[in-house]
Amino acid sequence: MHCPSCGNESSLDQKFCRKCGFNLEPVSALITGETAIDLVKQEKREHEWRLVRRMFRWLSIGCLVLLLGVILVIFNKGFIHEPMFQSIASLLILAGVSVAFYGVVSSIMRGTYLPDKASNNPQRLSENRTTNELPDARIPPPMPSVTERTTQLIGEDSKSKS
Protein backbone atom coordinates (compact mmCIF):
# COMPACT_ATOMS: atom_id res chain seq x y z
CA MET A 1 0.00 0.00 0.00
CA HIS A 2 1.16 3.53 -0.75
CA CYS A 3 0.31 6.65 1.23
CA PRO A 4 -2.36 8.65 -0.63
CA SER A 5 -0.76 11.91 0.49
CA CYS A 6 2.93 11.49 -0.33
CA GLY A 7 3.17 8.12 -2.13
CA ASN A 8 5.53 6.58 0.42
CA GLU A 9 5.25 2.79 0.65
CA SER A 10 3.56 1.66 3.88
CA SER A 11 2.34 -1.59 5.36
CA LEU A 12 -1.33 -2.33 6.08
CA ASP A 13 -0.79 -2.39 9.85
CA GLN A 14 0.70 1.12 10.03
CA LYS A 15 -1.55 3.76 11.58
CA PHE A 16 0.28 6.79 10.19
CA CYS A 17 2.62 7.43 7.28
CA ARG A 18 6.22 7.64 8.44
CA LYS A 19 7.06 10.33 5.92
CA CYS A 20 4.15 12.81 6.06
CA GLY A 21 2.10 11.64 9.08
CA PHE A 22 -1.10 10.97 7.10
CA ASN A 23 -3.70 8.82 8.93
CA LEU A 24 -3.59 5.43 7.13
CA GLU A 25 -6.23 3.59 9.20
CA PRO A 26 -9.20 4.47 6.94
CA VAL A 27 -7.18 3.51 3.85
CA SER A 28 -6.11 0.15 5.27
CA ALA A 29 -9.70 -0.48 6.43
CA LEU A 30 -10.92 0.05 2.87
CA ILE A 31 -8.22 -2.19 1.43
CA THR A 32 -8.89 -5.02 3.87
CA GLY A 33 -12.63 -4.82 3.18
CA GLU A 34 -13.83 -3.14 6.34
CA THR A 35 -16.45 -0.70 5.07
CA ALA A 36 -17.61 2.56 6.57
CA ILE A 37 -20.99 1.08 7.41
CA ASP A 38 -19.27 -1.58 9.53
CA LEU A 39 -17.34 1.13 11.36
CA VAL A 40 -20.53 3.12 12.02
CA LYS A 41 -22.34 0.00 13.27
CA GLN A 42 -19.44 -0.86 15.56
CA GLU A 43 -19.39 2.69 16.94
CA LYS A 44 -23.15 2.51 17.52
CA ARG A 45 -22.79 -0.80 19.42
CA GLU A 46 -20.06 0.70 21.60
CA HIS A 47 -22.25 3.73 22.32
CA GLU A 48 -25.18 1.50 23.32
CA TRP A 49 -22.91 -0.60 25.52
CA ARG A 50 -21.69 2.55 27.31
CA LEU A 51 -25.31 3.64 27.84
CA VAL A 52 -26.25 0.27 29.33
CA ARG A 53 -23.24 0.30 31.66
CA ARG A 54 -24.09 3.84 32.77
CA MET A 55 -27.71 2.89 33.39
CA PHE A 56 -26.80 -0.14 35.50
CA ARG A 57 -24.26 1.90 37.46
CA TRP A 58 -26.95 4.46 38.42
CA LEU A 59 -29.45 1.67 39.12
CA SER A 60 -26.94 -0.05 41.42
CA ILE A 61 -26.25 3.14 43.36
CA GLY A 62 -29.98 3.81 43.67
CA CYS A 63 -30.68 0.28 44.88
CA LEU A 64 -27.91 0.52 47.50
CA VAL A 65 -29.32 3.78 48.86
CA LEU A 66 -32.83 2.28 48.81
CA LEU A 67 -31.57 -0.81 50.66
CA LEU A 68 -29.94 1.38 53.29
CA GLY A 69 -33.26 3.19 53.79
CA VAL A 70 -35.16 -0.11 54.14
CA ILE A 71 -32.61 -1.38 56.69
CA LEU A 72 -33.12 1.80 58.73
CA VAL A 73 -36.90 1.29 58.60
CA ILE A 74 -36.48 -2.30 59.84
CA PHE A 75 -34.18 -1.22 62.68
CA ASN A 76 -36.58 1.57 63.62
CA LYS A 77 -39.56 -0.79 63.75
CA GLY A 78 -37.77 -3.54 65.63
CA PHE A 79 -35.19 -1.99 67.93
CA ILE A 80 -34.90 1.78 68.20
CA HIS A 81 -38.34 3.53 67.75
CA GLU A 82 -36.96 7.04 67.05
CA PRO A 83 -38.88 9.46 64.79
CA MET A 84 -35.57 10.83 63.48
CA PHE A 85 -34.62 7.42 62.07
CA GLN A 86 -38.02 7.21 60.40
CA SER A 87 -37.40 10.56 58.63
CA ILE A 88 -33.88 9.60 57.59
CA ALA A 89 -35.09 6.22 56.31
CA SER A 90 -37.87 7.88 54.31
CA LEU A 91 -35.40 10.32 52.76
CA LEU A 92 -32.98 7.50 51.87
CA ILE A 93 -35.75 5.46 50.25
CA LEU A 94 -36.89 8.48 48.28
CA ALA A 95 -33.31 9.30 47.26
CA GLY A 96 -32.65 5.71 46.17
CA VAL A 97 -35.75 5.61 43.99
CA SER A 98 -34.86 9.02 42.53
CA VAL A 99 -31.29 8.00 41.69
CA ALA A 100 -32.44 4.77 40.04
CA PHE A 101 -35.13 6.63 38.10
CA TYR A 102 -32.58 9.23 36.98
CA GLY A 103 -30.25 6.48 35.73
CA VAL A 104 -32.95 4.87 33.61
CA VAL A 105 -34.43 8.09 32.22
CA SER A 106 -31.08 9.73 31.42
CA SER A 107 -29.87 6.60 29.60
CA ILE A 108 -33.09 6.45 27.60
CA MET A 109 -32.79 10.13 26.70
CA ARG A 110 -29.14 9.78 25.69
CA GLY A 111 -29.96 6.70 23.63
CA THR A 112 -32.80 8.30 21.70
CA TYR A 113 -30.94 11.52 20.96
CA LEU A 114 -27.75 10.68 19.08
CA PRO A 115 -26.04 13.86 17.87
CA ASP A 116 -24.62 13.70 14.37
CA LYS A 117 -20.92 13.52 15.15
CA ALA A 118 -20.00 13.02 11.50
CA SER A 119 -20.95 16.60 10.63
CA ASN A 120 -18.76 18.02 13.42
CA ASN A 121 -15.70 15.90 12.72
CA PRO A 122 -14.55 15.65 9.10
CA GLN A 123 -12.50 12.50 9.82
CA ARG A 124 -15.59 10.47 10.77
CA LEU A 125 -17.51 8.57 8.14
CA SER A 126 -21.26 8.88 7.85
CA GLU A 127 -23.48 5.97 6.87
CA ASN A 128 -24.18 7.39 3.39
CA ARG A 129 -20.54 7.97 2.42
CA THR A 130 -17.81 5.43 1.93
CA THR A 131 -14.84 7.81 1.82
CA ASN A 132 -13.86 11.12 3.33
CA GLU A 133 -13.08 14.10 1.19
CA LEU A 134 -9.64 15.53 1.73
CA PRO A 135 -9.58 18.90 3.47
CA ASP A 136 -8.07 21.78 1.52
CA ALA A 137 -4.77 21.59 3.38
CA ARG A 138 -4.24 17.95 2.31
CA ILE A 139 -4.82 18.46 -1.44
CA PRO A 140 -1.43 18.14 -3.11
CA PRO A 141 -0.26 21.09 -5.20
CA PRO A 142 -0.62 20.61 -8.96
CA MET A 143 2.42 19.07 -10.58
CA PRO A 144 4.05 21.06 -13.39
CA SER A 145 3.75 19.66 -16.86
CA VAL A 146 6.56 17.45 -18.12
CA THR A 147 6.77 19.54 -21.29
CA GLU A 148 6.57 22.93 -19.53
CA ARG A 149 10.33 23.54 -19.53
CA THR A 150 10.59 22.43 -23.17
CA THR A 151 7.83 24.87 -24.09
CA GLN A 152 9.70 27.66 -22.32
CA LEU A 153 12.92 26.78 -24.17
CA ILE A 154 11.11 26.80 -27.52
CA GLY A 155 9.80 30.28 -26.75
CA GLU A 156 13.31 31.48 -25.87
CA ASP A 157 14.79 29.81 -28.96
CA SER A 158 12.31 31.54 -31.28
CA LYS A 159 13.09 34.91 -29.63
CA SER A 160 16.86 34.47 -30.05
CA LYS A 161 16.47 33.59 -33.78
CA SER A 162 14.48 36.76 -34.47
Q: Domain spans of the chain? A: 1-34, 41-114
Q: For 29-58, what is the mean pLDDT?
A: 79
pLDDT band at 36 (very low <50, low <70, confident <90, very high): low
Which pLDDT belongs to residue 130?
A: 55
pTM above 0.75, yes or no: no
pLDDT band at 133 (very low <50, low <70, confident <90, very high): low
C-alpha distance across the termini of the chain, in Å: 52
Over the chain, what is the mean pLDDT? 77
pLDDT band at 68 (very low <50, low <70, confident <90, very high): very high
pLDDT band at 100 (very low <50, low <70, confident <90, very high): very high
Q: For 22-49, what is the mean pLDDT?
A: 76
